[in-house]
Copies of this chain bind each other. A is one copy, B any other.
Amino acid sequence: MIQKKEIKYLASLKQKKFRLINQEIIIEGSKLILDAIKNNQEIIKIIYCKKDEAFSKIRSWAKEHNIPLNLCSHKDAEKISDTKNSQQIFALLKFKLPKKIDEIDLTLNNNIIVMDGISDPGNLGTILRTCSWFGYNNIMLSNECVEFNSPKTIRAAMGAHFYMKNIYKDSIQNIIKFLKQKKYEIIVADLNGTNLNKFKLKTKKWALILGNESKGISNDSINGANQIITIEGANKIESLNVAEAGSIIMYYLFKK
């Protein structure tokens, strides 16, 4: 049985402060844990109080890799869980903080999805999930973005976190400067731009910038853009959700 102080520590990871200090997070549910295993994430231990169908798979993996499996009580599971209906199986995971732009050590040549102030954790997670669907695994976050590893973002991303290759977090100015230096075609999604339908991609090396939910795209991004695109609509409502706009544009770029 797991110790009290251990439960206290795991529950503390619901707070951003402790996640950042310890660079550890809790993921919840067998499906997400199996995804983490499949994608070679650094799992420190498994904590459970209910054995569901997937449990035996997780147990054999843990035994094979010498990862502790700790039984906890239902009450403890509630303390650890971030949701109302806990799935009662958790993994404690190491994560690395997003890097600064000047730490880029690779000759980045792939497409990049840039989040310019995405503030809703659900939106960020959904966008990451869509990025994974289309195979985009280089992400840059402006400093104004919501925390990359928050429980809500991880839940909405449904395992996309484990697929991401390069995650950077820096000022939008530094991000734009980097993209310009590296000769990326900078595409910005905004309400006033060329209709996506008429949009022509000029190179295969592009970065797509998605803006804040209420303020939209920043001036730095607008000024840095090579092309500004809009998703044409029926003009019945003020705006599309940023995750929806992102999905439509990513699909468009993916097909090219």
List residues of chain A with CB under 8 Å of any chain B CB.
122, 126, 129-130, 132-135, 137, 156, 158-160, 163, 196-197, 231-234, 236-241, 243-244, 247-248, 251, 254-255
The 6 closest A-B pairs by CB, nearest first: A135-B234, A244-B247, A132-B237, A133-B233, A248-B251, A133-B240
Interface of A is mostly: helix
CB distance from A36 to the nearest CB of B (A): 13
Q: A122-B122, A197-B255 are in contact. Are A133 and B236 (CB under 8 A)?
A: yes
Chain multiplicity (copies): 2
From the candidates B122, B126, B158, B241, name the one contacting A237 in the complex (CB within 8 A).
B158
Contacts known (A244-B126, A244-B243); A233 close to B197, Cβ less than 8 A? no
Establish whether residues B159 and A233, one from each chain, have CB atoms under 8 Å apart when the complex forms.
no
Complex Cα distance A82/B248, Å?
31
User: With a CB–CB cut-off of 8 A, which chain B residues contact A133?
Assistant: 231, 233-234, 236-237, 239-240, 244
Query: In the complex, how many angstroms separate the beta carbon of A92 from the nearest chain B beta carbon?
Result: 23
* Minimal beta-carbon separation of A165 from chain B (angstroms): 11
